[in-house]
Chain A
Amino acid sequence: MIRLVRAEWTKLFTTRVWLGILLGACAMAGGFAALFTGFAGRNGDNGQALPDVGTSAYEQAAFGISANATVLLLILGIIGMTQEYRHRTATPTFLVSPRRGRVVLAKLIAYGLAAVPIGLLVIATDVLVVEIYAGARGAAPSLSGDNLRVLAGAWAALVIYAVIGVGVGALLRNQVGAIVGALVYLFVVEGIVIRAIPAIAPVFRWLPGGALEAMTATLDDTDLLQPWQGGLLLLGYGLVAAVAGTLFAVRRDVT
């Protein structure tokens, strides 16, 4: 198994996809952090003020902002799995490891572990921007207590989303379809449709988006799960997708 995991790392780091994802995720976290800090304390269009620098609401929201980059880690995992089909390398891959479930497992491990340092760099960018910008505006947040817990939650979420990506890729096999499908689900289905229908809104806490919010929960939202519950739930989604993918998609004939 360790051989297959190392083979996956070799695959990952011998093309430049990982670099694009890393830079994109850092830019996203840093950019959102800068925007959020810039608008902190100002009135929005609806007259509601955004929390000002120095408040714990601001600090936790600013540190949780890198969780937005989970979508890029999700795409990294999807590409990691689906590129085997897109570039037909599934053939040599399954020739080396005819037991295909082991390939999927190796990818889950390889991408989960690779996402650890990538996620760390992403939250480091977030912290850096927040500390400098908020510091300039008068109150650099401390790296302790709830702030630290939010950062840890965001980091874990980044890692778990890479694992989910591998699972989704195993299930759907088609790269473009899997990425578009995942984005539509996260931003349209969960982001708009489910929240817009009151009757099914309570379901949201059990969905990937709700679980992600739970991991970096900031706004005293009692509708959400505990952070650790959210993390486990997300991991569960990833593994269920991977197992289902192995059983129903990956084991199908490679043509």
Chain B
Amino acid sequence: MGTPTTHEPVRIEVRGLSKSFGRVQAVSDLRFTVEPASVTGFLGPNGAGKTTTLRMVLGLERPDAGTATFNGAPYTSLSEPLKTVGAVLETAFHPARSGRNHLRVYCRAAGLPLSRADEVLTEVGLADAGTRRAGGYSLGMRQRLALATALLGDPPVLVLDEPANGLDPEGIQWLRGFLRYLAHEQGRTVLVSSHLLSEVEQTVDRVVIVGAGRLVREGSIEQLRSGAVGAGTVLVRSPEAARLAEALRAAGSTVIQEDDGALAVTGSTAAEVGGRAFAAGIELHELRSQTSGLEEIYFELTSGREQFAAHSPTSAIATSANANANANATVTDTTEAAR
């Protein structure tokens, strides 16, 4: 994989990006930061504006408002773009050109030695297929060739749009390790988009979650886990609910009486709740901690945010009304937090 070199730290800053296509507002006042030497997951459901955002970050589409910069410089003013940022967007090759020649075109254009083409082919495991026509590549091989193109200039920043699409499980495993290696061992800034949290959960250090073109959450995976709705809640049932609630409140916990009579306790672990009940001599019928998985949190944060939600049949709107209400509440949270 080449000698481990530490790359110049480059921070990507997205500030107030907005873009609309006709009447559809694809991206609205989006702002987030991507830190060096880490893998940042750019998450959101399909149609959330991820690709549009990345294309604006890379100067391929012009934002209606806002900026995206690499250590302060927009992509279009970088003097050697390929040596600063490597990008994997849609897999775009001339089908009649071999993978190796495809890479050589961009070596020429970026003023890199042609030998880089063979080096990156080896890095992504395509050394044997380099002389074959790219049109005959499998989906996984195309993704690898796209990644090889991004690596040509040995850039400190990598921006990857859904790079796991079309990879087999083995390929996804390989990609995870490769991205971590590029960020943690080589100090690169890696921004990788996905609509599936599970796909990147084990790879990313930080997440930027978008829904309907707006920022929903930004932070580390740990922050996402702890700060999420339902995290650290203990559910307890007792025939003496009122007395138990009083005892728990006295101990500093927040207690909410649910409709079905159960108590939702935050600020205590299940063991602490059990201990207090025992000390007060209160009978318990149920005691369980309710930690949501990341996947649930992600779903909760993004549900009802697909562009298409507005066009779905009435029944779907009715069932997702509750989720929408939650989602709207979260939007308010983040906008306030941003200020």
A-side residues, CB < 8 A to B, are: 3-4, 6-7, 10-11, 14-16, 83, 87-99, 253-255
Contacts and interface: CB of A to CB of B under 8 A. Distances in A.
Contact of B59 (A11, A88, A93, A98): A98
9 nearest A-B residue pairs (beta carbon): A7-B109, A88-B92, A7-B108, A14-B101, A98-B76, A253-B61, A96-B109, A15-B96, A6-B108
Interface centre among A4, A89, A99 (most CB of B within 10 A): A89
Contact of B94 (A7, A15, A98): A15
A105 to B, nearest CB: 13
Interface string B76-104: 10100110010101101111111001001
A11 B105 contact: yes
Contact of A88 (B90, B98, B149): B90
Interface centre among B89, B101, B108 (most CB of A within 10 A): B108
Given A3-B111, A10-B108, A92 B78 contact: no
B60 A254 contact: yes
Interface residues of B, number: 31
Contacts of A14: 97-98, 101, 104-105
A91 B92 contact: yes
Contacts of A7: 105-106, 108-109
Given A99-B76, A253-B62, 16 more contacts: A3-B110, A4-B109, A6-B109, A7-B105, A10-B101, A11-B94, A16-B96, A87-B93, A87-B94, A87-B95, A91-B89, A95-B60, A98-B76, A98-B78, A254-B61, A255-B61
A3 B108 contact: yes
B109 to A, nearest CB: 4
A98 B75 contact: yes
A216 to B, nearest CB: 34
B58 interface: yes
B95 A3 contact: no
Contacts of B94: 11, 15, 83, 87, 89
A253 B61 CA distance: 5
A255 to B, nearest CB: 7
A120 B253 CA distance: 89
Interface in B179-220: none
Contacts of B98: 14
Nearest to B112: A3
Contacts of B76: 98-99
21 contacts: A3-B108, A3-B109, A3-B110, A6-B108, A6-B109, A7-B106, A7-B108, A7-B109, A10-B101, A15-B94, A83-B94, A87-B95, A88-B90, A89-B93, A91-B89, A92-B149, A93-B109, A94-B60, A98-B81, A253-B55, A253-B60
Contacts of B58: 95
B242 to A, nearest CB: 61
A89 B62 CA distance: 18
Given A3-B109, A3-B111, A87-B92, A95 B81 contact: yes
Nearest to A99: B76
A96 B90 contact: no
Given A6-B108, A10-B108, A91 B90 contact: yes
A92 B90 CA distance: 10
Contacts of B92: 87-92
Contacts of B59: 94-95, 98
Contacts of B82: 95-96
